[in-house]
Chains A and B, each alone.
Chain A
Amino acid sequence: MTVLAAPSTPAPAPAAATVRRAVQSRVEARAGYLFATPALVLIVTILLAPIAVVIALAFTDYQLGAVEWAWIGLGNYERMLDDPVFWRSLANTFIYVAIVVPGSVVFALVVAILVNERKKTRTLYQIIYFLPVTTTLIAMSVVWHFVLNPQIGPIAALLRSLGLPAMDVFGDPDLVLAGLATIGIWQLVGFNMVLFLAGLTAIPRDLYDAADIDGADHPWDRFVRVTWPMLGPTTVFVVVTTTITAFRVFDTVAVITRGGPLGRSEVLLYAMYLEGFQYFDIGYAAALTVVFLVTVVALAVMQAFFLDRKVHY
């Protein structure tokens, strides 16, 4: 009996210990949530709650200042499907993004590589290219409007003096998006360049030395075999942030073209602004916002996912 009893006596002890451990871990978990609460509250009130409100509003016919409103289910989305302005805005936004993203990324990469090779003038170039980032786009839109003005702008004067017809970039339905995209690129290049410069600085010099010894000393080989692959993670980041920024194009449209001519520069944010703050149709504007959010998030996630797998090492 003693032989059997011996192992059974200490048995309650581990059981008690288990209970104590369970209690302790529950206390720890509760304390953990307590510590996380301030951050959670902030995230909910600043980020999640507004989004939830927008999503809810999109199911209503709420007009700004109206006393009565009703749930209309998917009514706003149904209206959107038949709204030519929405489709035009969506298409224009995509075209704008399709020009601005490759344009500003490639241009920034080229500039960054050139600036990176400068020793003494590097800082100077960095500041010059970064200047547009520090200006407000509204003010700069006014400047661009003037510069490209077909009557009084310096570009037009230059063209006229060469005997060429003056271009009315913002008045020509075929040029207006390209014109806006140029301003977008102009504004983004400096920021992207700084990101690429940071990426370039982080490439170990040893890799270029090894490439030299291995025979990859042609500028093309150095770029393809070392620089470009090593910039992979930076490029993903730049492309994703640039896409999001480009999707939010608004200032230039609002100040320079107001969606014209012939609606050829209507973009999503501008349509949203008109519906919400000119026509006070908050419900519809909220629905547009939801579409905008979903598109941007989907695009960013897709890019990050696909590109990240390619550049992973």
Chain B
Amino acid sequence: MAALEIDTVSKSFGGSAVLKAVSLDVRDGEFLTLVGSSGCGKSTILRVIAGLEPQDAGAVRIGGRPVDHLRPKQRNVAMVFQSYALYPHMSVKDNIAMPLIMQRLRLAERLPLVGRLSPRRAKVMAEIDGEVGAVARQLHIEQLLARKPAQLSGGQRQRVALGRAMVRRPDVFLMDEPLSNLDAKLRVHMRTELTDLHRRLGVTFVYVTHDQVEAMTMSDRVALMDEGRIVQLGTPADLYHDPLDLRVARFIGSPGVNVLPGTVTGAGVEVGGAQLPLPVAAAEGAAVQVGLRPETLSLDPPAGRPVLKIRLSATENLGAEVFLHGRADGAGDSPIIIRAPLDAFDRARAAGRLDGTVTVAVDPARAFVFDADGRRVGRRPVEAAVVRMPVPAE
């Protein structure tokens, strides 16, 4: 168990900078997720932490101890690969036992026949068997120990890979998109299993995914990456309700945030005819981008709040809630999605407010204003305690 510090780490491959001075402190026992689109450098960070890829600059410390000069096996980290990387010619048992065999037997003792001459070997192997068995029981794979990886389902392989990582009791668990090869249903199930495992082991987890739902549901904190930089680090609620960058607002949340063009006025921001009374740190007349989460647009009568007029094009009824798709009149004709609870939708329909167009009320306190470069201006943090976290949809 240990904290992990990544200190201004940079890495390029043949002239293209993949990591640009990345700094990140992972607390002891924390579940931290690196999330970002494909190719943003997530795997590279993991590989640098593990020691598989030397960084060009910067330092990595595990438990306060610099590990840059250490080989992967000396860093006491475990890694679960996207492909699982199980040894296909070895049984499940041998796969899981591999790190222990390498740790505890000397080179001569590992040799096929000569190794048996060592008096120590039998005792060590018995110990290893016991530990492998214990890990297999925890993961409910004890009946699979004799099989080869090819004879296992995707979910079972996943568990074997976890077992191989757990058996050495690492300081840090590194996971590179471990769920991306599973079918949707198993993926949802394994999310809870992994968070359970994290709670039981109490070990520091660094988890990489491109799936914002995994990031939001599993993590203590999330670091959103883009083009080799960490754009924002915070709790899932921080990233959802208080994105500091348009890229964060867009990446987190499903359906995605609505982005409308706006203009800074004396009183705040004007967007699609609506005046949002927001303190904005930008010059009057400047063009801005206003982010509105789909659930912050209300179908109920505006009651004095600013409104947007929307031409509806499609309605998706998901049972408990309804997604309304349309375009915002006067706001550059931007596409827009409204996420309404079913009762609000029914009320609006009964009142005849859904006749091809709809007027929605905007909550200025929950609008995000970004400048032309996508940086947040006019920050208005909302109390996370007040706003209920919506459950992200798949």
Contacts and interface: CB of A to CB of B under 8 A. Distances in A.
Majority SS of interface residues in chain A? Answer: helix
Contacts of B148: 313
A232 B72 CA distance: 27
Contacts of A207: 85, 87
A277 to B, nearest CB: 48
A214 B81 contact: no
A217 interface: yes
A172 interface: no
Nearest to B84: A206
A206 B150 contact: no
Nearest to B86: A210
Interface residues of A, number: 21
B88 A230 contact: yes
Contacts of B73: 212-215, 217
Interface string A188-221: 0000000000000000101101101111111011
B71 A209 contact: no
Contacts of A204: 83, 85
Given A209-B79, A209-B81, A216 B98 contact: yes
Interface residues of B, number: 29
A217 B89 contact: no
Given A213-B50, A213-B73, A313-B148, A226 B79 contact: no
Nearest to B76: A213
Contact of B87 (A212, A218, A226): A226
Counting chain A CB atoms within 10 Å of each CB, the highest count among B71, B81, B148 belongs to B81
A229 interface: yes
A225 interface: yes
Nearest to B102: A215
Interface string B52-90: 100000000000000000011100011101110111111
A220 B77 CA distance: 22
A306 to B, nearest CB: 16
B81 A206 contact: yes
A213 B89 contact: no
A241 B49 CA distance: 45
Contacts of A214: 73, 98-99, 102, 164
11 contacts: A206-B81, A206-B82, A207-B87, A209-B52, A209-B79, A212-B52, A214-B102, A218-B107, A221-B107, A230-B88, A230-B89
Interface of A: 204, 206-207, 209-210, 212-218, 220-221, 225-226, 229-230, 232, 311, 313
Given A229-B87, A311-B89, 15 more contacts: A206-B85, A209-B50, A210-B85, A210-B86, A213-B72, A213-B73, A213-B79, A214-B98, A216-B98, A216-B102, A217-B71, A221-B107, A229-B90, A232-B89, A313-B150
